[in-house]
């Protein structure tokens, strides 16, 4: 049975046997057309950004600004967002992500001071504003900074 399996009709094409004379249907230039850079022996195609010798767009436009590849970016969370947590609970990046308050993928979490702080929370974040620290500690909580 396995010896009778064949691909479906029309699903496979015959391979081009280039350079095999007029009987192949690709005689003389073997489907490359006549003359020019793409027809020569190595068959080098021009890169997609090549503009025929004209100064390329990437070099015509001015370069501006600076991108610091060592920059750290923080996911911001306001104190008012911590209201759903029970008093005495420990809040860290994993707890915030589990509640859907932050998305994963950046360097750290920064707590900002907008809103009222719930009572008695233990907050472990990478950065915190002075206003947020004051509100958490006044509500009977504590703040621990992570590395």
What per-residue string of b and e applies to 6-27 under the rule 16 or more CB within 10 Å gives b? eeeeeeeeeeeeeeeeeeeebe
Q: What domains are defined for the chain?
A: 74-145 (3.100.10.10)
Q: What is the mean pLDDT of the chain?
A: 90
Query: Dihedral of CA 100/105/109/115: which sign?
Result: negative
Q: Which two tokens stand for residue 142?
A: 């504590």
Task: Answer yes or no: pTM beyond 0.85.
Answer: no
pLDDT of amino acid 86:
92
Residues 119 and 139 sit within 8 Å (Cβ to Cβ): yes
pLDDT digits (tens, 9 = 90+) for 65-98: 999 999 999 999 999 999 999 999 999 999 999 9
Q: Torsions phi, psi of 108, nearest 5?
A: -165, -175
pLDDT digits (tens, 9 = 90+) for 22-58: 888 888 888 888 887 777 777 667 788 889 899 999 9
pLDDT at residue 17 tops 80:
yes
């Amino acid at each position: 049975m396995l010896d009778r399996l064949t691909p479906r009709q029309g699903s496979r094409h015959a391979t081009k046997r280039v350079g095999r004379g007029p009987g192949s249907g690709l005689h003389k230039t073997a489907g490359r057309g006549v003359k020019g850079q793409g027809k020569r022996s190595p068959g080098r195609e021009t890169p997609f950004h090549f503009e025929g010798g004209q100064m390329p767009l990437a070099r015509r436009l001015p370069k501006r600004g600076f991108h610091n590849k060592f920059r750290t970016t923080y996911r911001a969370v306001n104190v008012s967002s911590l209201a759903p947590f029970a008093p005495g609970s420990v809040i860290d990046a994993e707890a915030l992500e589990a509640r859907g308050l932050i998305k994963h993928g950046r360097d750290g979490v920064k707590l900002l001071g907008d809103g009222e702080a719930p009572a008695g929370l233990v907050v472990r974040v990478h950065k915190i504003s002075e206003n947020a620290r004051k509100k958490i500690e006044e509500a009977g909580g504590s703040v621990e900074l992570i590395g």
